[in-house]
Amino acid sequence: MRAAIIAGGKGTRIGMLYPDLPKPMIPICGKPLLQWQIESLVMQGVGDITLIVGYKADVVQAYFGRGEHYGAKISYIVEDKPLGTGGALVLLPREDTLVLLGDVYCDVDFHRFVNYHKEKQAEITLFAHPNSHPQDSDIVVVDNDNRVTIWKSKKDNKRDELRNLVNAGLYVFCGNALPTCETVKCDLEQDLVIPRLADGRVYAYRSTEYVKDMGTPERLAAVERDIEHGTTVVRNLRHKQRAVFIDRDGTLNEEHGFILAPDQLQLIPRAAEAVRMLNSSRYLTICVTNQPVVARGDVSFRQLGAIHARLDSLLSNEGAYLDDLLFCPHHPDKGFYGEVQGLKVDCECRKPKPGMLIEAARRYNIDLSQSYMIGDRTADIAAGSAAGCKPIGVKTGAALADEKFAATTDEVYDNLLDAVKSILELEIDSK
């Protein structure tokens, strides 16, 4: 596997801080962003790297040379005039290539990313994740197999509420997906990725790993803080992860019967603050929720997706996000008008069974024994215990008064925020 880094940017928003440097050469904790990327690639065995440079190309070339000092073999494509983010890719060899944008700081398991691309037999695989500012990011919509079906640009002012799944600026291109005809100017997303969506071979690799653009002074400062605190390293999926699993209805959002439409969903006061605190910690934040309304025929999968888009939107309005949301659409009891027969099963994912937590652990390399399950019902406590997590109850929603399952916990807090504060305080005390 080879890599190409698109490193020709000037950086209009952050360039005022470093007017004499191209954007990828802006220092982060004492060394250029581009050096962080190269060292990460080399450490994972990707040493054949092409740097696509333009603005102040001589600065980049003088610093990195041919890459011997970094254990890499570095070649250059120098744009005499800007060719857009994708124009120079026509000059790459026709083979599978990791493509990174040069204004993105990342600490990811590239092997895992590439293997996913190969498993899907994709033409293009893009790295996707939720973030705290989806409003100014390109959003992708995926199907049940993570095939990208819709691309919503950050420039689109008419976007409806969508799930928080953002294109992060890292790609794997199949050799035959790279451009073959030289063009004057080419946009990577608009001209290379989006036109291929109709082929059904563009996939999103969803990950909780650390990827952030540093296009503003505020984001640059945030990346430096995260590096200094070790947050970037621990999120790499080569390492075992810790998670806080959160129930939805009655724990994260108000519960007043079944939620059947997006406008019925309202967050519990300060729940977004709790999620935002977790986003700044080493814990993944994963919602696991029973949604029998699908099996009952009350809502379709599409309608449930709209409800969860509303949840994502309310959280992002307060700078918070869920790393993932898993739901169980099944219900074992029959006899409801309009029910979906294929979903009326005794499954392994419906809480109090631990199936959703175990699936999340598989996806994100989670150590369940170092994780927590927070909920308002005994089913949540039972599921957490069965998965090997530390169960925590909250007094919102059902407040554990349902007594449906013989499950108890000594840790019960008034609300989600108090429960999260307790977890994070314990984390500080253990250091």
Report the predicted TM-score, pTM, of the whole model to 2 decimal places: 0.93
- What CATH code is carried by the domain that includes residue 330? 3.40.50.1000
How big is the chain, counted in residues? 431
> Does residue 226 form part of some domain?
no
336 and 283 assigned to the same domain: yes
% of the chain with per-residue pLDDT over 70: 96
Residues 204 and 317 reside in one and the same domain: no
The span from the CA of 33 to the CA of 28, in Å, is 6
Q: Is residue 229 part of a domain?
A: no
| Same-domain status, 126 and 182 | yes
> Which residues are designated catalytic?
247, 249
In this prediction, residues 218-233 reach a mean pLDDT of 91
What is the tens place of the pLDDT at every residue in 238-252?
999 999 999 999 999
- Give yes or no: residues 166 and 269 share one domain: no
Provide the CATH number for the domain around residue 72: 3.90.550.10
Q: Are residues 212 and 248 in the same domain?
A: no
Question: Does 282 share its domain with 163?
Answer: no
Q: What is the pLDDT of residue 161?
A: 87
Q: Which pair of structure tokens corresponds to residue 179?
A: 């451009």
Between CA 387 and CA 251 the distance in angstroms is 19
Nearest residue to 241 (alpha-carbon basis) of 277, 206, 209: 209
pLDDT tens sequence across 292-344: 999 999 999 999 999 999 999 999 999 999 999 999 999 998 888 889 999 99
Q: Assess whether 168 and 264 both reside in one domain.
A: no
Domain count, the chain: 2
Domain presence at residue 232: no
What type of residue is 44?
Q
User: Does 372 share its domain with 271?
Assistant: yes
Residue 10 pLDDT class (50, 70, 90 cuts): low
Same-domain status, 205 and 323: no
50 and 106 assigned to the same domain: yes
**Residue 279 covered by a domain:** yes
Is residue 152, in this structure, part of any structural domain at all?
yes
Is 43 found in the same domain as 140? yes
Q: Is residue 230 domain-resident?
A: no
Can you spell out the DSSP letters for 142-168?
E-TT-BEEEEE-TT-TT-------EEE
Q: Which tens digit of pLDDT belongs to each residue from 135-150? A: 889 999 999 999 999 9
Contacts with 342 (C-beta within 8 Å, 6 or more apart), sequence order: none
One domain, residues 202 and 351: no
- 165 contacts 152 by C-beta, under 8 angstroms: no
Please, what's the b/e burial string for 53-88 (b: 16 or more CB within 10 A of its CB; e: otherwise)?
Answer: bbbbbebbeeebeebeebebebeebebeeebbbbbb
Residue 116 · residue 205 · CB < 8 Å = yes
For 145, the domain range is: 2-219
- The residues, any chain, with a CB within 8 Å of residue 307's CB and separated by 6 or more, are 259, 261, 262, 264, 265, 299
